[in-house]
Amino acid sequence: MVEHTRTLDFKIAFAIGLGTMIAAGIFSLSGTAVAEIGSSAVIAFVIAAVIAGITAAAYSEFASIYSENGGGYLFTSRTFEDRQLLTYGIGMSLFLGYTGTTAFYLSTMDEWFFRFIIPEGLHWLPHGTTAVAAAVLLGTLNARGTEESGTFQLLVSGAKVAVLFAFIGGAFAFRGPSTAVGNFTAQFSTDVLGILEISALAFITFFGFSAIAASAGEIIEPRKTVPRAIAASIVSVTILYALVIVAMTNSTVPPEIIAREGETAMGEVAAGFLGPFGRSLIVAGAIFSMVSASNASILAASSIGSLMGRQGQAPRAFSRIHTRFNTPFWSVTAATGAIVALVVTFIMLFPGEGGFLPINLGLTVLTGFATFNLLLPLAVVNGALIYHRRLYPDIERGFRVPGVPIVPVIGIIANIGLITNLPMVGVGTGIGLTAILVVAYVVWGGGQEIEELVQRVDTPQQAASGQGTANGSGDDDDQFRILVPVARPSNAPSYVRLAEVLGTGHNGSPLIEVVTVTEIPEQTPHETMAEIATERVEDIESALAEKELSADYTVEGRTCRDVAFAILQAAREDSADLIVMGYPEENEEITTKVEYTAPCDVVFASGLTDDPISQINIGAGGGPHHLAAANLVRNMGEQGYSVNVISVDPAGEGTSEDPAATVSELSGVPDMHVYNVSAASIAEGLVSKSKEEGGVLMIGASRDRRLRRWVFGSTPDSVIKRAKLDEVPVLVYASSTSVPERIEDYLFPIYRYLLKLRNRSQTSTDQSTAES
C-alpha cells in the first residue's frame, strides 16, 4: 500500500522545530527589535515564547492522541467533525500561514543576498528573485521525499546553531562577560506598546512547534516524540534568542545604523565583533536559517494540504501519494506555487517602497499576513482542546495540558491580543484572502472524504488459487502487481488469464489483484450495500475456482460512489504496476478517467473470449503509448508467444506508419513476423489481418485523443468498432503520463500537422523538379 512511512526520529523532529524557529526572526527581527526597544527585546521574545508555549501544550496533547499529519487542521477536524466551514477555514488559514511564513523567510533571505552576496552589477534584478528560485528548489526537495528533506533539515539546523554560538561568543570575547552584561542591563526600555508590537512580530519565529505536530505522520513514535521535540525546541530557541539580544546590545555599530540596516543589521554587528570573517559567517548562517525554516514550513503546509484533499476540502489530487517519491506530490506543488505567488505579490509587484504602483505591501505587511493566519487558528485550537476534553473524556491522552480550561483560555486571549498588535494592512490582507477562499469553498460545496467515498468490504479468508488468498495480498512485495477490476463475475476468469499472460517476464509469476466495485447512490450508507458487495466477491471466487487457474491472485470488494475513483484508489493503495480492465461500453467516463489519471499503465480489453492466447498482433506505430505496448509485447514474445507486426498502407483515411521503430522495440523476440497490408483504413487493415492470423490485437492509445471526443483516439476507437463486427479481441494500451508528457500530448497533434504540411511541400517540390 502506498502510504507515508515514518522515517523521522527525535533528532530530526527537534531539528524541524529548531530550524523553523531559528530563522528570519533571529536574523532579521533582532536588529529591528534592538533598534526600537533595546534590551527589552528579550522581554518581547520571551512573551512570544510563553504564548507559543501555551498553544504548543495544546498541540502536544492533541498530537499524543492523533498521530497523523495535519497539525491544527487535523485537531480541529477531529473535534468539530460536523462543522465543515469552520474546519475548512482553519485548514486554509494554516495553509496560508505556513506558505506566508515561508515567503517571509525566503524574502528576508533575498534581502541578505542583495545586501551581501549579489554583485551591484546585478542589482537590477527585482527583489524576490532569489526567493522564488529557492522556493522552487525547496519544493522539489520536499516533493522527492521527506526522509531526504529531514536529513537536510538536521544538517542545516546544526550548522546555523554553530554560527549563532560563534556570534554570541564573539560578542562576549570582544566586550568581556561583565561589560557585556552591564551594557545589556543598561539598555532596557519601558515602552510597553513597543514590546507588545515586537512580541506580535516575533511570534512567527516560535511557530516552528506546529511544524513538528503537522508532520506527526512522518515521525517515529509520535505520541512520545512530538511533545518532547516541541518542548525541547521552544526552550532551546528562547535561550538562544536571549543570548543573541545580549550580543546585539553590545554592538560597536551605532543604533541609527542598526535601525537603517533593519533585516540585515546582524551582519554589520558581526563585522564589528569578528571582522569581515564574522560578517561572512553570519551571512552564511542567516541563509542557512531561512532555507531550513522554509524547508520545514513547506513540509508542514503540504501535510495540511494533503489532509484537506483527503477530507474533500481541497482538490482530491492533493491527497495522492506519489508512487515513486512516497510524498503528497501535488500538495507540495500547490504549497510551492502559493509561496511563489506571495513573494511575487508582496515583494516584487507591491514592495514596501519604490514600487511601480501606489500600493505598498513589502516584508512587514507579509509578516503580518503570515502571523495573522497562524494566530487565528491557534486560538481555535486552544478552544478545541477545552471542547475535546468534554466531548471525549475517556479517550487515551499520552500528554495532558495542566490547568484546563484556564490555560487554553489564556492562550486564546493572548493569541487574539497579538493579532491586534500586527500591521493592520497585513491583517486586512489575510482576512480578505481567507474570506475569498471561504466563499469559493461555499460555492464549490466541497467533496466527500475518501473514507466516505470508497470503503473496503471484509470477505472470507479462503484460499483462492495456488498461493493466492481472498482479500489478501502476496508475500513478495517485488512481484509484478496487476489490478483487475471486474464488474461481472462470469468475466473474471478470462481477465485473470489475460493478466497472467501480460505479466509474464516480470519478476517471476505476477500477483493478480482482482477487485470488484459495487456502486452506491449518494446519501446511501456503505453498510447497506456491504452484503451485496460481499456476495459479488464470493461469486467471483467461485467463478475463478471452477476454472482451476494457476495464477497467483487475490480478490477484494469495495463499495464506492465513483467506480473510476475506486479503481484508481485501489491501484494507488496496492502499488499496482498495471491495470487490466474491460472497456465499459455503457459508461465511457470510467474508461476516460482511469486512462488519463491512472498511477500506472492500463490495458483495456474489448471482445475478450475464453480461448487461450497464443499470439499477439501489434500495429506499426509510434508515440509513448505504442512504444510502451511494444515493450509489453516484447516481454511476452521472449516468453514464447508468437508476435505479428502489421503495417497498413491506407488508401483512404489515416497515415501509414513505418514499422522499423516497432520492429526495433521487439528485437529479441524469436518468433516475429512483419506483414505489410493495404486497406481502405488503418482500422480495417489491422482487424482483417489479425482475424486472418488469429490471436489478439494490441494497439496503443492515440496522442491526440485529449483534443477530441474520442476515448482512445480516432484509430483505436475505429479498431474497436470494426473488431466487434469481426469478433477480434482488442487490447488498447495507455501508458501513465507525467505532467510534461501530458503537455507534450497536447502539442503532438500540432507537430503531426506541421509534419504533414512539410511532407506535402517536399512532395510538391520533388514533383516540380522532376517535371522540369
Tell me the mean pLDDT in the region 57-74: 84
**Helix, strand, coil percentages in the chain from 3-state DSSP, rounded to 5:** 65, 10, 25
Question: What is the predicted pLDDT for the residue at 475?
Answer: 47
Out of 17-31, 314-328, 450-464, 702-716, least confident range: 702-716
- Amino acid sitting at position 101: T
Report pTM: 0.71
pLDDT at residue 467 greater than cutoff 60: no
pLDDT at residue 759 greater than cutoff 70: no
Compute the mean pLDDT over every residue in the chain, rounded to the nearest whole number. 80
Question: What is the predicted pLDDT for the residue at 179?
Answer: 86
Per-residue pLDDT tens digits for 101-133? 899 889 988 888 888 888 877 777 888 899 999
The DSSP code for 316 is G
Per-residue pLDDT tens digits for 47-61? 888 888 888 889 888
More confident residue, 655 or 532: 532
pLDDT at residue 78 greater than cutoff 80: yes
Question: What is the predicted pLDDT for the residue at 354?
Answer: 65
CA distance to 317, 596, 740, per residue, from 745 (Å)? 21, 11, 9
pLDDT at residue 616 greater than cutoff 80: yes
Per-residue pLDDT tens digits for 281-294? 888 877 877 887 78
Out of 145-149, 413-417, 640-644, 720-724, least confident range: 145-149
Question: What is the predicted pLDDT for the residue at 340?
Answer: 96
pLDDT tier at 262, thresholds 50, 70, 90 = low
For residue 497, how far is the Cα from the chain centroid?
36
Q: What percent of the chain shows pLDDT beyond 90?
A: 16
pLDDT tier at 474, thresholds 50, 70, 90 = very low
pLDDT tier at 749, thresholds 50, 70, 90 = low
Return the sign of the alpha-carbon dihedral for residues 379, 380, 384, 387.
positive
Tell me the mean pLDDT in the region 570-584: 85
| d(C-alpha 742, C-alpha 39), whole Å | 58
Question: What is the predicted pLDDT for the residue at 638?
Answer: 85
More confident residue, 764 or 317: 317
CA distance to 64, 389, 390, per residue, from 405 (Å)? 18, 9, 10
**What would the grid cell of residue 114 be?**
542583495
pLDDT at residue 660 greater than cutoff 70: yes
| d(C-alpha 453, C-alpha 442), whole Å | 20
Angle made by CA atoms 701, 706, 708, in degrees to the nearest 5: 100
